[in-house]
Amino acid sequence: MANNDPLFGLSGDALRLRSQRMALLASNIANAATPNYKARDFDFQKALESAQAGASVDQAAGQSAGYRVPLEASLDGNTVELSTEQTLFAENAVQYKTTLSFLQGRISTVMTALRGE
């Protein structure tokens, strides 16, 4: 596993991917009333693995992206289900915040080492 970021490691890529996924889920929510819009998402685990293998964030998200399979088909061809998207958006926001606190811990560790106290 090639780690391309010696300072932030996994968390740096994870934060970028979380932000990307947040934009994707926001797009789905924005298009909740657009006929024929197909909701999209990506597999976070897979995307993180390819980002760790050296792919850029855009590439990693693109490779593991797919269309959401709706629980109940709607007549206008739109596959956005607000309950699903809202749940995933909230989950993603919490995970973004979690990643942020991992980064915070990392930064304070490095700062302690730098100060030499």
Partner 1 sequence: MSNMSIFDISGRAMAAQLVRLNTTASNLANANSVSTTKEGAFRALKPVFKTVSGGEGIATVQVSQVVSSQTDPTKRHDPGNPLADQNGDVWDAGVDQAGELVEMMETARQYQNNVQVLQTAKSLTLDTLRLEK
Nearest to 25 by CA among 97, 99, 81, 102: 81
Helical (H) or strand (E) element with 13: helix 9-30
State which of positions 71-90 bind partner 1 (CB under 8 A). 82, 86, 89-90
Nearest to 85 by CA among 64, 71, 98: 71
29 binds partner 1 (CB under 8 A): yes
Strand 40-42 and strand 65-67: pairing?
A: antiparallel
Contact between residue 33 and residue 110 where contact means Cβ atoms under 8 Å apart = no
Torsion sign across C-alpha atoms 89, 69, 24, 2:
positive
- Shortest distance, position 64 Cβ to partner 1, whole Å: 11
53 binds partner 1 (CB under 8 A): no
Among 23, 73, 75, 114, binds partner 1 (CB under 8 A): 23
93 binds partner 1 (CB under 8 A): yes
52 binds partner 1 (CB under 8 A): no
What is the contact surface with partner 1 in residues (CB under 8 A)?
A: 15, 20, 22-24, 26-27, 29-35, 37, 40, 42, 57-58, 61-62, 65, 82, 86, 89-90, 93, 96-97, 100, 103-104, 107
